Structure 1
């Protein structure tokens, strides 16, 4: 009997590239680390940052939604990325979609709020290692020096001509998250592997 959408196991957009990412990491001698972080829970949240809902949602999530442009707030397993003056991306571990959505909606109460599950829209690539900045700089026009784009920073930008959300992790050794639309994930993975050749041989 053929698998159906209800019974088929989840398949990440980059499951076919896992071996190539692992091989690049192995052959780089520790210079770069590349991996997919599939199935992260992702919700786009829009609300008035000065309204009652902002504080209530922050309290329910255990973190304050960041109000400074291009910043990230992290608490426990949740991360909130500033995308605009009234827009955030809340990222959590796989499998937390229903619980996270209900927490946000219940906290907002009757206040106007938009909560959209975009978990299937993007996948996440991890780019880490001592050469992570150099690798990303091959295709990103942002200044990625830690003094400028250090831990706790995020940006909507392009990488290898692909629109991404780039996140500098808390610890510089943890590298970057690159959130990319699933339909472009294969292309971007090929681009990253090609750009990393100088370290992976």
Structure 2
């Protein structure tokens, strides 16, 4: 019997990200195989409170907020929609926990782990690099740690999440089918940082 085999969307493009990195200024890499689960539920329902208790962090209730536990990140995507991100292999556990807390109330819990991959962009030049293709104000006062937004980056729909500002660290959630295009765009956008060294 054949063993199951999975390859991340950027497995064959890993060198593109590595070669685009500039020591001390910019680091690009793929964060592959994370567990990703979307949740739709009325934020004012008893189920939303039960889900927050079960997860160990309440569902963010403001646009662009992110809450975290040691092993889970919960990103606000809309008034009744969240993206739950955990370690590889935890999607079933996250789904089961949320589904049990949801009970019979109206809502949806869907494993979307294969839908997107994550490109991490970190380092002092990260905000400048992303600003080349994104209209968001990425200044730390406007888009600081634990903030997220659905936006366009290089004409590609992404979820952009700021993990930290000192040093800057962002996660870009991009559809698997657009991941190589975005990696190539990031390589081209980062080329000037190599020329300036």
Same fold (TM over 0.5): yes
1:97 to 66, 91, 94: 91
Structure 1 position 15 matched with structure 2 position 15? no
1:155 corresponds in structure 2 to: 149
String of CA shifts for 1:83-110, please: whole Å, max 9, x gaps.
1111101111111011110000011111
> Partners in 2 of 1:103 and 1:171 — Cα distance?
32
Deviations 1:58-95 (A, max 9, x none): 11111110001111111111011111111101111111
Contact kept in structure 2, 1:167 and 1:176, CA below 8 Å = yes
**How far is the alpha carbon of 1:29 from its aligned partner?**
2.6
Contact 2:164 2:170 in 1 (8 A): no
2:16 touches 2:183 (CA, 8 Å); kept in 1? no
In 2, the alpha carbon distance for the partners of 1:58 and 1:33 equals 33
Alignment map for 1:170-181 (pairs within 5 Å): 170-173=164-167, 175-181=169-175
CA distance in 2, matches of 1:64, 1:44: 15
- The answer to whether 1:138 aligns with 2:132 is yes
Q: Does 1:87 align with 2:64?
A: no
Give the TM-score, by structure 1 length.
0.93
Q: Does residue 64 of structure 2 align to residue 70 of structure 1?
A: yes
User: How many residues get paired?
Assistant: 195
Tell me which residue corresponds to 1:32: 26
Superposed displacement of residue 171, structure 1: 5.0
Gaps of 5+ in 2: none
SS in 1 for 2:167: helix
Task: Tell me the alpha carbon deviations over residues 98-144 of structure 1, each in whole angstroms, 9 at most, x when there is no partner.
Answer: 11100000111111120011110000000000000000000000110
TM-score (norm 2): 0.95
